[in-house]
């Protein structure tokens, strides 16, 4: 690849998370852009990165050193603000309302680029309209269309409009690149998860749940009505005007699909709703828990149990960045439509580029999943023990053992169901987790974060008397036998942490 891609010198960006003239002049610039776009597409086609759309005007900073003019319009156009980092400029612009942002965009090329940064407009749309918006190609245009007085002053069709020259910024370039890059084939190649079809529950417990190892289970969704039924048409018809949790807002499923059709962003919105079964009971009856995961001890808490199941719908490129599942639970994730790329690291191996806070309450990781692949994936290439990876397709289920770090990216528009559960194999871990001194900042999915430990332990003792003692005794016996787990195979809270339980 030639052009900008040979000079990718940008820094990685981190985000902290808790668990985005006149009409005539525009036409002239668009014609000019069309020619540059054609040239750029020709350049982009020689291997390496593959882009979903054509290039924008912003270039990585490294390209400045190869430019004849050595002029960066990023700086000249920002005036005294040029000394601020790109992140800081965007943070400040994030305090402005749409009118001020729109006006400031007319001040200089540089302000134009910053003020039209799509995540700023995404925030404005979500703040002003919640989930009541009809996405129209870009967030800026969506805002303008919904807010009629501004609509005439913006370029239509979802186009981002002007393209600037001599603008160099790693931050903005990488943001654009991550929104437009397709997953590279070599990021999808590794497939080293164990797969099983038709194993018994005992085999599952012995080979995977006890040793806390991931497995991909084939054929165990064969009886699910959802597999045949849950296409877009069915979901739209069945869910009608019901609103589902999508990031910070709630959206009708039809509006969400409209957004998904057009989304080109670093972190596309993701429909992730824990109450889908109550909201649309027919969805609940279209699937059943695979036999391997029937024991779920959080059931003893009845309605007071933390959130535990979610319908997940998202466009290609959406997904979940690195995290460990809540409350030290294990999980299963069943793909109904589409496919998902998984990367998993065992509990004592923090993935490269991921920085949990010492108490585990916060995780700093790259802004987007694509950014992780671009900047950190190759770090695992030479590791003796590789992360566990796979592509999980429709009809398949992955078991995610407790404590494992995982990242997921949808390779196609996808629909899935996931449930988190507590079985006897991870009961002690969950109790241990709920009892931590900082439980109020760690426990999630419930309002009652502090008392959950007592409630759960008492309910288990009432319903299954002696179980906790038996499990603790078993764990102590194991420790006494000096069962020394090997580095990788034993990276289970269950074994490694067995000696520290005291309830």
What residues from 58 to 97 belong to the interface with ligand AKG (CB under 6 A)?
Answer: none
Query: Of the listed pieces 7-15, 235-243, 273-281, 318-326, which binds ligand AKG according to CB under 6 A?
Result: 318-326
Q: Are 225 and 286 in contact (CB under 8 A)?
A: yes
- In the structure encoding, which two tokens stand for residue 340, read together? 């998902």
Query: Could you give phi then psi for residue 171, rounded to 5 degrees?
Result: -60, -50
Q: At what angle do helices 86-93 and 118-129 cross, to 10 degrees?
A: 30
Q: Under the criterion CB under 6 A, does residue 221 sit at the interface with ligand AKG?
A: no
- In the structure encoding, which two tokens stand for residue 269, read together? 């919105």
Of the candidate residues 172, 312, 367, 427, the single one contacting ligand AKG (CB under 6 A): 312
Of the candidate residues 138, 321, 333, 375, the single one contacting ligand AKG (CB under 6 A): 333
Of the candidate residues 235, 253, 311, 408, the single one contacting ligand AKG (CB under 6 A): 408
Smallest distance, ligand AKG to C-beta of residue 17, A:
13
Q: Are 376 and 364 in contact (CB under 8 A)?
A: no
Binding mask 158-197 for ligand AKG (x = CB under 6 A): ----------------------------------------
Cβ count near 324 (within 10 Å)? 19
Give all strands (DSSP E) within 6-48, no chain letters.
14-17
Q: How many residues lie near ligand AKG (CB under 6 A)? A: 11
Q: Are 135 and 262 in contact (CB under 8 A)?
A: yes
Of the candidate residues 325, 396, 413, 432, the single one contacting ligand AKG (CB under 6 A): 325
Q: Are 272 and 310 in contact (CB under 8 A)?
A: yes
Of the candidate residues 117, 213, 341, 406, the single one contacting ligand AKG (CB under 6 A): 406
Query: Closer CB to ligand AKG, residue 5 or residue 429?
Result: 429
Query: Could you give phi then psi for residue 377, rounded to 5 degrees?
Result: -55, -40
Binding mask 334-373 for ligand AKG (x = CB under 6 A): ------x---------------------------------
Q: Under the criterion CB under 6 A, does residue 317 sit at the interface with ligand AKG?
A: no
The rounded Cα 232 to chain-centroid distance in angstroms is 21
Query: Of the listed pieces 25-33, 57-65, 180-188, 317-325, which binds ligand AKG according to CB under 6 A?
Result: 317-325
**CA angle (346, 351, 356) in 5-degree steps:** 100
Q: Under the criterion CB under 6 A, does residue 388 sit at the interface with ligand AKG?
A: no
Query: Closer CB to ligand AKG, residue 175 or residue 327?
Result: 327
Smallest distance, ligand AKG to C-beta of residue 319, A:
5
Query: Closer CB to ligand AKG, residue 56 or residue 388?
Result: 388
What residues from 468 to 487 belong to the interface with ligand AKG (CB under 6 A)?
Answer: none
- In the structure encoding, which two tokens stand for residue 329, read together? 């639970």
User: What does DSSP say about strands 14-17 and 215-218: parallel, antiparallel, or unpaired?
Assistant: unpaired
- In the structure encoding, which two tokens stand for residue 4, read together? 């900008």
Q: Under the criterion CB under 6 A, does residue 419 sit at the interface with ligand AKG?
A: no
Using CB atoms within 10 Å of the CB of residue 500, give its burial: 0 to 12 exposed, 13 to 18 middle, 19+ buried. exposed
Q: Under the criterion CB under 6 A, does residue 394 sit at the interface with ligand AKG?
A: no
Query: Of the listed pieces 226-234, 279-287, 312-320, 358-366, which binds ligand AKG according to CB under 6 A?
Result: 312-320
Query: Closer CB to ligand AKG, residue 313 or residue 471?
Result: 313
Spell out a b/e string for 350-365, using b for 16 or more CB atoms within 10 Å of the CB, else e: ebbbbebeeeeeebeb
User: What does DSSP say about strands 309-314 and 271-273: parallel, antiparallel, or unpaired?
Assistant: antiparallel
Task: Find the radius of gyration of the CA atoms of the chain.
Answer: 25
Q: Under the criterion CB under 6 A, does residue 397 sit at the interface with ligand AKG?
A: no
Smallest distance, ligand AKG to C-beta of residue 446, A:
16
Q: Under the criterion CB under 6 A, does residue 316 sit at the interface with ligand AKG?
A: no
Query: Closer CB to ligand AKG, residue 74 or residue 406?
Result: 406
Distances (CA, A) of 446 to 195, 336, 419, 459: 34, 27, 15, 17
Query: Closer CB to ligand AKG, residue 156 or residue 360?
Result: 360
Q: Under the criterion CB under 6 A, does residue 418 sit at the interface with ligand AKG?
A: yes
Q: Are 114 and 93 in contact (CB under 8 A)?
A: yes
Residues that bind ligand AKG (CB under 6 A): 312, 319-320, 325, 331, 333, 340, 406, 408, 416, 418
């Amino acid at each position: 690849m030639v052009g900008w891609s040979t000079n990718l010198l940008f820094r990685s960006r981190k985000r902290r998370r808790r668990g985005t003239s006149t009409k005539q002049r525009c036409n002239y610039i668009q014609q000019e852009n069309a020619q540059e776009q054609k040239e750029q597409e020709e350049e982009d086609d020689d291997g390496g990165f593959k882009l979903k759309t054509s290039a924008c005007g912003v270039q990585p900073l490294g390209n400045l050193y190869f430019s004849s003019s050595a002029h960066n319009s990023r700086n000249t156009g920002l005036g005294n603000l040029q000394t601020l980092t790109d992140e800081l400029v965007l943070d400040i612009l994030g305090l402005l309302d749409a009118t001020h942002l729109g006006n400031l965009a007319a001040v200089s090329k540089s302000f134009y680029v910053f003020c039209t940064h799509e995540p700023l407009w995404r925030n404005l749309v979500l703040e002003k309209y919640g989930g009541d918006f009809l996405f129209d190609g870009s967030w800026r245009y969506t805002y303008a269309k919904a807010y009629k007085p501004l609509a005439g002053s913006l370029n239509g069709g979802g186009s981002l409009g002007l393209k600037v020259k001599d603008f160099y910024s790693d931050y903005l370039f990488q943001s654009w690149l991550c929104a437009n890059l397709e997953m590279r084939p070599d990021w999808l190649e590794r497939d080293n998860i164990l797969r099983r079809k038709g194993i018994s529950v005992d085999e599952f417990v012995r080979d995977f749940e006890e040793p806390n190892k991931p497995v991909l289970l084939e054929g165990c969704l064969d009886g699910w009505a959802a597999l045949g039924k849950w296409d877009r048409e069915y979901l739209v018809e069945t869910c009608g005007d019901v609103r589902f949790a999508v990031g910070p807002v709630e959206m009708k499923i039809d509006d969400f699909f409209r957004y998904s059709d057009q989304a080109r962003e670093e972190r596309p919105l993701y429909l992730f709703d824990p109450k889908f079964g109550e909201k649309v009971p027919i969805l609940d009856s279209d699937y059943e828990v695979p036999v391997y995961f029937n024991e779920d001890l959080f059931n003893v808490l009845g309605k007071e149990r933390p959130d535990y199941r979610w319908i997940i719908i998202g466009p290609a490129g959406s997904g979940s960045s690195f995290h460990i599942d809540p409350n030290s639970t294990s999980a299963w994730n069943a793909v109904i439509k589409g496919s998902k790329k998984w990367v998993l690291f065992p509990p004592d191996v923090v993935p490269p580029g991921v920085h949990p806070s010492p108490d585990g309450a916060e995780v700093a990781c790259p802004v987007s999943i694509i950014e992780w692949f671009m900047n950190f994936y190759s770090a695992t290439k030479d590791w003796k023990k590789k992360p566990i990876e796979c592509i999980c397709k429709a009809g398949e289920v992955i078991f995610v053992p407790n404590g494992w770090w995982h990242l997921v990216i949808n390779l196609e528009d996808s629909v899935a169901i996931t449930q988190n559960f507590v079985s006897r194999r991870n009961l002690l871990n969950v109790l241990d987790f709920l009892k931590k001194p900082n439980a109020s900042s760690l426990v999630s999915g419930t309002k009652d974060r502090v008392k959950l430990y007592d409630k759960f332990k008492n309910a288990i003792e009432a319903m299954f008397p002696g179980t906790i003692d038996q499990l603790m005794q078993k764990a102590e016996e194991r420790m006494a036998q000096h069962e020394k787990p090997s580095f990788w195979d034993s990276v289970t809270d269950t074994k490694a942490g067995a000696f520290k339980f005291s309830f």
